[in-house]
Copies of this chain bind each other. A is one copy, B any other.
């Protein structure tokens, strides 16, 4: 039995990649493609069980209210959720018969696993650093994902009772030791030709462990989105972060 899927924001670049991904999956059935400004009623009429929303912060709340109330589950990659909006979505999902919601800042399965493994590994190593690599047109440094990864490592170190990392540096050029994110150095490399890559380097006596994630093109979020579509029926209410779906 296949799952009936609707795609909102279907005509954008990301939406097109999801449409292709759903069409290529034998267990998923694409029943609705909705573009900007088009009527959402089609997802109800075509009996979509799950919708995928990669639209705009300005439209996503309306989309979610409509779908949740119709009992349709929502896999959401649109950005711009603050605490207040999350609370509102959670309230909607609490109603009887309401649709479930997954909101994730990053659907690239390799990036999500890098963060999860980094948090798991952190307590076993004396040192941890993050190096991320992106194309030189990127506006922020370090990337949000790298900052998030470093914060997770820092929290895991703290929970395990680890103190500050050893670092004997006395003589240094400004910036050489990277940005300090909760005590974890984070380095941002900008290289023409690269897309989005992250490396977490842990060190202990006589050894190191490196977890590296490479995104080669924009379609890298597709497998994670499809994973969300397949599992959302088992996760009532609001869930934030794909890692909660992974059954590790």
Give chain B nearest CB distance to A222 CB in angstroms: 5
Which of A51-59, A96-104, A107-115, A231-239 has 4 or more CB atoms under 8 Å from chain B? A107-115
Residues of B near A248 (CB, < 8 A) are 120
> A87 in the interface, Cβ–Cβ < 8 Å?
no
> A127 in the interface, Cβ–Cβ < 8 Å?
yes
A96-140 vs B, CB cutoff 8 Å, 1 = contact: the mask equals 000000000000111101100100110011110101010011111
A22 to B33, CA, bound (A): 38
A117 to B179, CA, bound (A): 28
Residues of B near A216 (CB, < 8 A) are 193-195, 206-208, 216
> A213 in the interface, Cβ–Cβ < 8 Å?
yes
Q: Check if B189 sits within 8 Å of A167, measured CB to CB.
A: no
Q: Name the CB-closest residue of B to A195.
A: B216
> A171 in the interface, Cβ–Cβ < 8 Å?
yes
Residues of B near A63 (CB, < 8 A) are none
Interface size class of A (residues with CB under 8 A): 35 or more
Q: Name the CB-closest residue of B to A178.
A: B175
A161-189 vs B, CB cutoff 8 Å, 1 = contact: the mask equals 00001111111111111111100011111
Residues of B near A204 (CB, < 8 A) are 109-110, 192-193, 220, 223
Select one of B21, B125, B172, B190 contacting A167, CB under 8 A. B190
Q: List 10 A-B contacts (CB under 8 A).
A: A109-B207, A110-B202, A110-B207, A124-B223, A138-B169, A141-B169, A174-B179, A193-B205, A207-B213, A210-B213
Interface of A toward B, CB cutoff 8 Å:
21, 108-111, 113-114, 117, 120-121, 124-127, 129, 131, 133, 136-142, 147, 165-181, 185-195, 201-223, 227, 246, 248
Q: Taking A141-B171, A191-B203, A194-B208 as given, write out 18 further A-B residue pairs in contact, using a Cβ cutoff of 8 Å, ordered by the A residue number.
A: A109-B209, A110-B209, A117-B117, A124-B223, A139-B170, A140-B172, A142-B173, A142-B176, A173-B181, A175-B176, A176-B179, A177-B190, A192-B204, A193-B203, A193-B214, A205-B219, A208-B214, A210-B211
